[in-house]
């Protein structure tokens, strides 16, 4: 990989100043018109119009509402470098009081995807205003990240064909605009869902010995499940199990015959993930035997853990240092136990995913998925410059290796 201290003779990777106002207006327009997963039709139309203005060839209606755009390279035989942005919003009623707040009731860009989309278009603007790179650059505008379905759908629609590497990033209110946060290895957790169905034997509240109480079994299961984290796992490996739903019973004086539990499993390590799955089944089987009940466990795999490639993380740090200065390239303070479906791309090709500082100075910065969430738009040209610099470095490396 390129030496981070070497000089890179290249055109400027800065966004032309006269293009920034139109890009900010583009982001605010998206923010006013958010669309939920797989319904991003207006968003896709606006992206397509912008790509057309840049004369970038692209295909629409990929995985329903996604777009794949290709900036040609000087050597068409080389594989492409991909940059990805997610484009969907969330089912949240906005309470920011911004002049460009959502005009759609109960739908809001509360996770910065309007910013991600704009950043990718800004990066495309930079790349099309300089000589072609050796490799093609593929722009992936992906729907449905919030339901962890878009990346898989885009991959199934050949978004990664002839692509060697992929890069992405997420605006983050925990870090100020002007910082880029990069970690080796795991940066987001896997996310699995589990459902437990308990079937006991109903009865009268006054005669519990004649019944098999599904509430008692469920309550015991909730407690036992927490012991997986505290007693089954190495405490140096982060993991979370949450029981988020417990439904049982119909009346105060009836012993419940059935109960249903549902929850979430978050891990950073596939081996730990497997250990938790096995332990959950063992606990369910043991409780079924102990209480003479029927207990079924269903585990649905969600997004895998997002694990950055070490070499490409090195390259990303290089690009970030050139963009914001080495003093503003920071490690993540705490690993994010939330899921990110960018991880699906990394199951197919190497890549690196970073956090991009987008906090406002000297004010509260509400968390993502909050009705008062907003991003500092100063982050947009910074992130675009980072993407352009990173793509240039990666393209040179691919050309040198081929």
Q: Bridge-partner residues for 163, per DSSP?
A: 80
pLDDT band at 9 (very low <50, low <70, confident <90, very high): very low
pTM of the model: 0.92
Residue (of 358, 385, 375, 362) closest to 96 by Cα position: 375
Residue percentage of the chain with pLDDT more than 90? 94
| Cα separation values, 83 from 34, 80, 117, 136, 205, Å | 22, 10, 11, 11, 61
Q: Indicate whether 180 and 195 sit together in one domain.
A: no
Mean pLDDT of 249-258: 97
> Residue 375: inside a domain, yes or no?
yes
d(CA 153, CA 63): 5
> Residue 217: inside a domain, yes or no?
yes
Q: Indicate whether 178 and 296 sit together in one domain.
A: no
Mean pLDDT of 365-369: 96
| Cα separation values, 141 from 120, 138, 154, 159, 221, Å | 8, 10, 9, 10, 42
Tokens of 383: 């992130």
Residue 213 CB-half CA count within 13 A: 17
Q: Which of 300, 335, 362 is the last residue of a domain?
A: 300
> Residue 12: inside a domain, yes or no?
no
Tokens of 223: 């407690």
d(CA 351, CA 45): 28
Tell me, what CATH number does 140's domain have?
3.40.630.10
pLDDT band at 4 (very low <50, low <70, confident <90, very high): very low
Q: Indicate whether 180 and 64 sit together in one domain.
A: yes
> Residue 183: inside a domain, yes or no?
yes
Residue 48 scores a pLDDT above 60 = yes
Q: Indicate whether 276 and 324 sit together in one domain.
A: no
Among the listed ranges 60-64, 144-148, 326-330, 333-337, which one has the minimum average pLDDT value?
333-337
Mean pLDDT of 151-170: 98
Q: Which of 233, 268, 300 is the last residue of a domain?
A: 300
Task: Please give the pLDDT value at position 10.
Answer: 46
> Residue 62: inside a domain, yes or no?
yes
What φ, ψ does residue 229 adopt, rounded to 5°? -65, -45
Q: Indicate whether 150 and 182 sit together in one domain.
A: yes
Residue 64 scores a pLDDT above 70 = yes
Q: Indicate whether 233 and 346 sit together in one domain.
A: no
Mean pLDDT of 125-141: 97
Mean pLDDT of 255-266: 98
d(CA 125, CA 368): 27
Spatial neighbors of 397 by CB under 8 A, at least 6 apart, are: 1, 2, 315
| Cα separation values, 67 from 83, 123, 260, 304, 371, Å | 12, 16, 40, 23, 28
Task: Please give the pLDDT value at position 11.
Answer: 45
Mean pLDDT of 8-28: 84
Mean confidence (pLDDT) of the chain: 95
Q: Indicate whether 87 and 161 sit together in one domain.
A: yes
Mean pLDDT of 200-228: 97
Q: Indicate whether 173 and 150 sit together in one domain.
A: yes
Q: Say if CB 51 and CB 122 are below 8 A apart.
A: no
d(CA 13, CA 321): 13
List alpha helices for 75-234, DSSP H: 113-128, 150-156, 214-227
Q: Indicate whether 251 and 362 sit together in one domain.
A: no
Residue percentage of the chain with pLDDT more than 70? 97
The number of domains in the chain is: 2
Q: Is the dihedral of CA 36, 37, 42, 44 positive or negative?
A: positive
Q: Indicate whether 92 and 174 sit together in one domain.
A: yes
> Residue 372: inside a domain, yes or no?
yes
Q: Which of 300, 334, 367 is the last residue of a domain?
A: 300
Q: Indicate whether 274 and 196 sit together in one domain.
A: yes
Tell me, what CATH number does 252's domain have?
3.30.70.360
- Convert 332-367 to b/e letters by CB count within 10 Å (16 or more is b): eeeebbebbbbbbbbeebbbbbbbbbbbeeeeebee
pLDDT band at 12 (very low <50, low <70, confident <90, very high): low
Residue 75: DSSP 8-state: -
Active site residues: 88, 145
21 vs 7: which has the higher pLDDT = 21
- Convert 29-54 to b/e letters by CB count within 10 Å (16 or more is b): ebbbbbbbbbbbeebbebbbebbeee
Mean pLDDT of 177-185: 96
Task: Please give the pLDDT value at position 287.
Answer: 98
Task: Please give the pLDDT value at position 345.
Answer: 98
Q: Indicate whether 67 and 173 sit together in one domain.
A: yes
pLDDT band at 2 (very low <50, low <70, confident <90, very high): very low
How many residues are present in the chain? 402
Give the long-range contacts of residues 231-239, CB within 8 A, separation 24 or more: 232/275, 232/276, 232/279, 233/272, 233/275, 233/276, 234/272, 237/267, 237/268, 237/269, 237/272, 238/189, 238/267, 238/268, 238/335, 238/337, 239/265, 239/266, 239/267, 239/268, 239/269, 239/272, 239/276
> Residue 347: inside a domain, yes or no?
yes
d(CA 13, CA 323): 9
> Residue 7: inside a domain, yes or no?
no
For residue 151, give its domain range.
17-187+305-401
């Amino acid at each position: 990989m390129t030496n981070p201290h070497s000089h890179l003779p290249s055109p400027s990777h800065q966004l032309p100043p006269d293009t920034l106002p139109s890009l900010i207006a583009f982001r605010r327009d998206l923010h006013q018109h958010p669309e939920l997963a797989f319904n991003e039709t207006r968003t896709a139309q606006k992206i397509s119009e912008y790509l057309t203005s840049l004369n970038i060839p692209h295909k629409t209606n990929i995985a329903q509402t996604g777009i794949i755009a290709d900036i040609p390279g000087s050597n068409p035989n080389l594989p492409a470098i991909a940059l990805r942005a997610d484009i969907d919003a969330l089912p949240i009623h906005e309470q920011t009081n911004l002049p460009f707040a959502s005009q759609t009731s109960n739908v809001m860009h509360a996770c910065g995807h309007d910013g991600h989309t704009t950043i990718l278009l800004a990066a495309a603007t930079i790349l099309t205003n300089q000589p072609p790179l050796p490799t093609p650059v593929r722009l992936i505008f992906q729907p449905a990240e919030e339901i962890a379905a878009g990346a898989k759908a885009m991959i199934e629609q050949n978004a990664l064909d002839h692509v060697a590497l992929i890069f992405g990033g997420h605006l983050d209110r925990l870090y100020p605009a002007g910082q880029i946060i990069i970690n080796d290895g795991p940066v987001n957790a896997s996310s699995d869902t589990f459902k437990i169905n308990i079937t006991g034997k109903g009865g009268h509240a006054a005669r519990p010995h004649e019944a098999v109480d599904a509430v008692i079994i469920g309550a015991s299961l909730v407690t036992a499940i927490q012991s997986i984290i505290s007693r089954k796992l190495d405490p140096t490996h982060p993991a979370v199990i949450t029981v988020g739903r417990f439904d049982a019973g119909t009346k105060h004086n009836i012993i419940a015959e059935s109960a249903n539990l549902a929850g979430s499993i978050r891990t950073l390590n596939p081996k730990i993930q497997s250990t938790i799955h096995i332990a959950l089944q063992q606990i369910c089987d043991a409780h079924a035997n102990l209480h003479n009940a029927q207990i079924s466990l269903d585990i649905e795999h969600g997004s895998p853990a997002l694990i950055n490639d070490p070499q490409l993380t090195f390259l990303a740090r290089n690009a970030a240092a050139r963009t914001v200065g080495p003093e503003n390239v920071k490690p993540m303070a705490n690993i994010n136990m939330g899921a990110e479906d960018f991880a699906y791309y990394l199951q197919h090709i190497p890549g690196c995913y970073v956090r991009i500082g987008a906090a406002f100075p000297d004010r509260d910065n509400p968390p993502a998925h909050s009705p008062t969430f907003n991003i500092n738009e100063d982050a947009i040209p910074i992130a675009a410059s980072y993407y352009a610099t990173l793509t240039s470095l990666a393209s040179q490396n691919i050309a040198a290796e081929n």
